[in-house]
Structure 1
Amino acid sequence: IKRVCETELGIVSQCCQPRQASRLNMQYFENVALKINVKVGGRNTVLVDAVQKRIPLVTDRPTIIFGADVTHPQPGEDSSPSIAAVVASMDWPEVTKYRGLVSAQAHHEEIIQDLYKSTQDPQRGLVHGGMIRELLIAFRRSTNFKPHRIIFYRDGVSEGQFSQVLLHEMNAIRQACASLEEGYAPPVTFVVVQKRHHTRLFPADHNRRDLTDRSGNILPGTVVDTHICHPTEFDFYLNSHAGIQ
């Protein structure tokens, strides 16, 4: 059902198993309702700071937040394409609704090829396209604002590919913006996110409750940007969430 709805009919679906629904478990029904609400364009949670426009670099002016990654086929699947996905926020200042696009590209190609593209049509001339352009247009239709700032989170890039990915994908973002309006060049913050590293951070004093959470870990929101970071590149370690162990 999901495959047909998504790939052939182009509609959103939500499936429920009879054996689960027949138990009349309210928690199950609440979870299904939350999923349906998001899929039909609703909001399940909104940050108070977002509503009150107190999030730095996001709520002071219309800002769109992108997230992008590339999934590669398993070893041995030599003919399968890699799949690039880009999601973007579709509301402001709440930044809770989002839209996603996917695109197939060359086997094991890490650089996202379909961020921006242009083709020459005999009838229409130069035709602009690409996922960034489409999502920027969708943001403006949804909010009645064109983004004054772009924050682009990029996952799945190894350290040896930083400069290559940054050069190509930043250029694609710039071209997508310029294709919408002459002179349109909002500032772009390009953040490469890496989760798989071997650095572990510990509080200086486990006995001080102002330095640790309930599990004894460093506090959520802790940023380390000195001593153990790259000597020339701009990088940092961020502990976003409280640890569960």
Structure 2
Amino acid sequence: MYNDKNSQTWTDSVYYLQQDHSLDVIICIAPGRKGNSPIYESLKYYLQTECNIPSQVILADTISKNSRSLRNIMKNLMIQICAKMGHSPWVFKSLPLMNKPTMIISMDVCHRVETNNKSVLNLVASKDKYVASFYSASVSQGEEQRIAFSIQKLFMEALQEFNTKNGLFPQKIIIYRDAVSEGQSEVTLRTEVPELEKAIKNLKDSGQIEEEPSILFILANKRIEQRFFTQDRRGNLKNPRRGLVIESKITRTDRFDFYMISHAGPTGLQCPVRYEVIKNTFQDLDPKDLYDLTNILCYEFYNLQGTVRIPSPLIYAHTMCNQISKICNHQVEVSETPEALKDKLYYI
């Protein structure tokens, strides 16, 4: 079936294989190359919407045309499969701001689903103190909605998942939200923060939680023009070291915001991220703890053994956006997360 370009043949084979065997993971080596495979989208759509089993689709050209780096390719695939099955390839033993039961939530929206013009809100929420296991879910919204108006249900499900895993609800909630633009922080504050507060209130009114958790809501904006450089002894400009935080001089005096460079990049092209805290009910929050947590989380993205620009939960939410928009472009229905896969990083 290696060279078969009929997607129905592939989906039928997977279906019958699943009927005859108890499978933990499905791995397919499909014909074609990246961006030009005759069956990739339809096969991924079937695997992620109907199989309810973690899956990995490997394109044949990825293996055959990269023989010299095959060892690294296989290593990265094993890491991906490990994460998709609900395991944690690596963790940090201790993280700042995690001294009490804490859940970290990230959200992103994709609106590139061409067939029905709907946008899809994606939410990823951590379930342990290592920020290594996650609840992932998505929900369809109206056409071209960038600000999420109906996310209360996802918030409630995430809180209940945390309780199921840990035997208690989080005492602190930290939200990293992909920033929509420089000028829409007030809109986010008026729309999304109340949805979280309503979810907490519903759980409190129903007697599931006794004390409301503290909330730290942060916007992460990658679309900025600022660039930063350091100067060596000879007067040459170069990129700052990873982990640089700018918290004064160019930040706003009326808000809690900061810039961070957490990854390496070409000189002149290394892009910082602006973080803005729009809601904070934490008591005695030490900004340095927030800086350290944000920077450390940039090392926990399981698709890359290095650092990324923004915290890993936010990258996961963005990755789920891309995956859903990619496999749903030519489908009638928007793909929403199956129940069986909500506790796995099935989309990385």
TM-score, normalised with respect to structure 2: 0.57
Percent identity between the two aligned chains:
30
Secondary structure of the corresponding residue to residue 237 of structure 1? strand
**Aligned letter for 2:119?**
S
Q: Which residue of 2 aligns with 1:178?
A: 201
Q: Which structure dedicates a bigger proportion of its chain to helix?
A: 2
Residue of 50, 62, 65 corresponding to 2:101: 62
Q: Deviations over 1:10-65 (max 9, x none)?
A: 33211234566676933332222111110111111112xxx2x3x2212x111111
For the 8 Å contact 1:70–1:156, the answer to whether it is kept is no
Alpha-carbon spacing, 1:7–1:201, altered in 2? closer, same or farther (3 Å): same
Task: Please give the alpha-carbon distance, in whole angstroms, between the structure 2 residues aligned to 1:241 and 1:96.
Answer: 20
Query: Quick check: 1:153 aligned with 2:189?
Result: no
- The one-character-per-residue Cα deviations of 1:87-129 (angstroms, maximum 9, x if unpaired) are 111222x11122221111111222212311xxxxxxxxxxxxx
Paired position in structure 2 for 1:112: 148
In structure 2, how many angstroms separate the alpha carbons of the residues matched to 1:165 and 1:78? 28
Q: 2-side partners of 1:184 and 1:108: how far apart?
A: 36
State the partner residue of 2:79: 34
Q: Which amino acid aligns with 1:231?
A: T
Aligned pair count reads: 217
Q: Indicate the residue corresponding to 2:124 in structure 1.
A: 87
Return the alpha-carbon distance in structure 2 between the equivalents of residues 27 and 206 of structure 1: 35
Q: TM-score, normalised by structure 1?
A: 0.79
**Does structure 2 retain, via aligned residues, the 8 Å contact 1:178–1:184?**
no
RMSD: 2.6
**Counterpart secondary structure, 1:16:** strand
Given candidates 46, 56, 61, the residue that maps to 2:91 is 46
Q: Distance in 1 between matches of 2:115 and 2:106?
A: 27
The C-alpha deviation readout for 1:211-245, integer Å capped at 9, x for no partner, is: x9xx9321222221222122322221111223354
Q: Distance in 2 between matches of 1:162 and 1:155?
A: 11
- Mapped partners of 1:144, 1:200: distance in 2: 45
Matched residue type, 1:84: L
Match of 1:197 among 214, 218, 224: 224
**What are structure 1's unaligned runs of at least 5 residues?**
117-129
Q: Tell me whether 1:4 sits opposite 2:31 in the alignment.
A: no
Partner of 1:206: 232
Residues 161 and 20 from structure 1, CA distance in 2 versus in 1: closer, same or farther, beyond 3 angstroms?
closer
Do residues 99 (structure 1) and 139 (structure 2) align? no
Give the letter for the 1:142 counterpart: K
For 1:206, give the aligned amino acid. Answer: D
Q: Distance in 2 between matches of 1:88 and 1:207?
A: 45
Query: The residue matched to 1:163 in structure 2 has which SS?
Result: helix
Matched residue type, 1:80: N
Residue 178 (structure 2) pairs with residue 139 (structure 1)? no
- Secondary structure at 1:15's aligned position in 2? strand
